Structure 1
């Protein structure tokens, strides 16, 4: 059903796999995915009562989406139980959480998290939200209707946070964006999602119209890959106002116009597209980890070891390039403006907090957002 992984600064890999029916598989390895080996299968018998079977049936365990948050905590959902949300901390402890009324009676699929906010996709009942505020769980629900979320439909097909903290939502009746998801929890400002509108030949149109949006993937440049049911795959600018590419089975090697999922290989930058007719890869656009023929940036000191307090120097980019720094999953960490052919990074995120130990990918981009050079750095705290 889903997978989530994290890599430590020493190369230790943890991979979790969620299965519909059997529970959560945990694999561990060092250095490469080939070294991964199964170390645990979590189900109703060894999860402190958190994982539950439907109606008490231990063989009917419906675990769905899983993801890691910024603190290395694994979050997941399970369907048709009274505590659908759960977490596993870095010590391996399970915790269960209830959601807004109705969440225990619908199938829950995907889960995304950012800045302490958790949003959960239901198949037919909108989106459920959860946020911990000083030990108190705030529970919310986003549905159709003005003031309730203004979704075009309660049938949610996909959702993803972008690097600006906006929540992009795909439904069976089109795409909308929740520009200030914090408002859902604090009650301030507008909590309704909005479509992306643009004008073409004097006519205002809605991005993707009412096409079912079945997949949303955000790349390292904050561009969006939008998969549809029947209209193929779209690559749009960070704000969605410019369509960069539309791939269909008729104009490209795409196997089908029905897209199930889109992801990026963090090592090669290849975009992996799952369709109802099989998998296909795509190269050539500015994506996380893309190697292509780009020159290598000079990055020093590298690695950055404990005790070093100076900046990281980045050289080899074109004059006044934008420098984008991401983690290995493609999530944007910082965005810098180079001075001439050099930039300096203080090792902090955009919000000023220090990054954790790990490998970080560095991209120099031109005015069009295309990658012109790349590099990477290992930071050990």
Structure 2
């Protein structure tokens, strides 16, 4: 297999850190980390495929050497060296497996890293890369604060720690901060507006605490709310932190924007009216928001910097068009429209930009003729996007799509195009006897009737595929239920031209009594041999002859306990099956499990074991896995083979041995065989390829020994031996 890539939304900023040496800001999000240098407007993106152990990162700090420290919600600590682009990992907190162990903030104090986590405050030596003490409890008795540390500050010879239950302090000279009784505790009883404190900052010879009910300052032994902040949801603070303007005053962000407090007058607004809510600060000139980073000039005029990447992490209905562009819906409720990715640029399609869409609840993409994209919505019909990526029309109740059980809704459930260019559109809960909508090549609509769809039970369609006989097959279950009360069971199928045994008016139905593993069919795929694979909530059924389905059906037992959410057939006829426990890969005949990809097994490169959708770019061999935490891709050798030999290419060439990866031979026809010959014609190795466009050679001869330096001839034969191609590759022994 090839390389993994992960794609996540990184617009929702959790924390920022400023690297003054590189003039770079680092941002952590629920989708990973990115850096941005404004001088040359360059981004660097970090997810699991770039070294993070998890993309759900929550804290970031830069030490005096320019090393970046990254904390995660699962307790994993990362150390990144930008100069060498290398990582180190510290798993001590992660390995504790506590119910709550997320890292909330990282503070660099000289050569010490203070780790504020749900467990408490941990002291970590940067030079030795090892933990010292961890302070878990502050105070004694019923008023003790336990864990949930959010920030730390040094003020007036004291260590101050904020938590979600209050603030605690102890002298810097305390020889044993691990002793709970050595800490003084402050809560609302001592004047804090709220017990949960997000942030601490020092200014004007005192210490401040940010809460969701206002900004507090310490006066003597008690706290008081700063004038002008009562009731404000204060999210972050900054004073004398770079980059800044008016550095000595205290700046704060809240839901209403950026405010300043000068130590005497009430806090006042400096900037507001942001397009999305602020979340974090780096100095007072950089403010993280829910949609990127605000860069302020010295007059506090802002411009928004949006990181590259998908507009949403919800990849719930994937498809890849013939140009290799990836398309996805984002959900049936609280969706973000639909989106596309051409390998360089992401594009969002929303109702805010195109009122014809009706809503942003688009959840499934199907590829039609002429590279059209049919995008199904939950309530507003189906959108037709042309090969250039432009929305041409939206079919809804006003122009021919029948309503769902709720008459104000039109829920499309996928589309499939037959060989005549007719697009068959599934209606989730078709009314009366109108079961299917047809979009004809001349753009007129037609309807298939003859199936009573709502009495005595409601028929539900959730997807449609067309087999080699032209039969339309309809799934009836998806991750987007609730179920319709009194729904009909089984898989329906329809053929208007071919008489299938047991059908009436062209319609037939398969039930568990016919051999289905379950009446809840959630995924359909036709393989390269014409067999129909039906995924259910209890595994897979295979129909070996869709022309007579009830007499040629069998259950596939190895994954009988899995809920199948998607099936893709690659050019080698392998089956890639998306489930809630990862992705399974089956051999062409289904008898062998070739692979099982999970979050753990891929080191987090598969972003979630609950794989909502799956699709493939057959031209490049890239498999895409959609989850509700982002998109993962995997390069595979299952590229669509060439119809005829043209020219063989080799990568890398020259090929240095020993090597960590095999030489790739590209340009093969289906089922090619390879022969490796020395320049004087001696046969060194004979290789059976995977069967697609590429084959591999590991640089060894028939006895498993690495070949010597020289030029080698690679000869490719078609399976029948009637087609031949050859090329040369240079091998260099190190």
The TM-score with structure 1 as length reference comes to: 0.67
CA distance in structure 2 between the aligned counterparts of 1:256 and 1:134, rounded to whole angstroms: 42
Q: CA deviation at 1:110?
A: 0.8
Q: 1:63 aligned to 2:412?
A: yes
CA distance in structure 2 between the aligned counterparts of 1:322 and 1:289, rounded to whole angstroms: 10
Closer, same or farther in 2 for the Cα pair 1:43/1:289, shift >3 Å? farther
Match of 1:121 in 2: 475
Counterpart pick for 1:257 among 601, 609, 612: 609
Unaligned 5+ segments in structure 1 are 30-34, 185-189, 197-205, 300-313, 326-335, 344-381
Closer, same or farther in 2 for the Cα pair 1:134/1:209, shift >3 Å? closer
CA distance in structure 1 between the aligned counterparts of 2:633 and 2:459, rounded to whole angstroms: 34
Match of 1:75 in 2: 424
Q: 1:337 aligned to 2:719?
A: yes
Unaligned 5+ segments in structure 2 are 1-362, 478-486, 643-648, 652-663, 676-687, 694-717, 726-734
| Aligned partners of 2:572 and 2:690 also within 8 Å | no
Counterpart pick for 1:236 among 569, 583, 586: 586
Structure index of larger Rg: 2
The TM-score with structure 2 as length reference comes to: 0.36
Match of 1:141 in 2: 509
| Aligned partners of 2:566 and 2:578 also within 8 Å | yes
| Aligned partners of 1:317 and 1:342 also within 8 Å | no
CA distance in structure 1 between the aligned counterparts of 2:691 and 2:509, rounded to whole angstroms: 37
Q: 1:19 aligned to 2:377?
A: yes
| Aligned partners of 2:369 and 2:417 also within 8 Å | no
Aligned to 1:45, the other structure's residue is in SS state: helix
Match of 1:211 in 2: 562
Number of aligned residue pairs? 287
Q: CA deviation at 1:107?
A: 2.8
Match of 2:365 in 1: 3
CA distance in structure 2 between the aligned counterparts of 1:101 and 1:39, rounded to whole angstroms: 32
Q: CA deviation at 1:277?
A: 2.9
CA distance in structure 1 between the aligned counterparts of 2:634 and 2:668, rounded to whole angstroms: 28
| Aligned partners of 1:3 and 1:67 also within 8 Å | no
Q: 1:280 aligned to 2:632?
A: yes
Closer, same or farther in 2 for the Cα pair 1:292/1:279, shift >3 Å? farther
Q: CA deviation at 1:5?
A: 3.0
Q: CA deviation at 1:60?
A: 0.8
After TM superposition, list the pairs within 5 Å mapping 1:80-119 onto structure 2: 80=429, 81-82=431-432, 83-98=434-449, 100-102=451-453, 105-114=458-467, 115-119=469-473
| Aligned partners of 2:494 and 2:508 also within 8 Å | yes
Match of 2:12 in 1: none
| Aligned partners of 1:269 and 1:289 also within 8 Å | no
Q: CA deviation at 1:28?
A: 2.2
Q: CA deviation at 1:318?
A: 3.6
Aligned to 2:548, the other structure's residue is in SS state: helix
Q: CA deviation at 1:237?
A: 0.5
What do you get for the CA RMSD once the two structures are aligned? 3.2
Match of 1:223 in 2: 574
Q: CA deviation at 1:122?
A: 0.9
| Aligned partners of 1:100 and 1:140 also within 8 Å | no
Q: Relative contact order (C-alpha < 8 Å, sep 6+): which is higher?
A: 1
CA distance in structure 2 between the aligned counterparts of 1:340 and 1:276, rounded to whole angstroms: 48
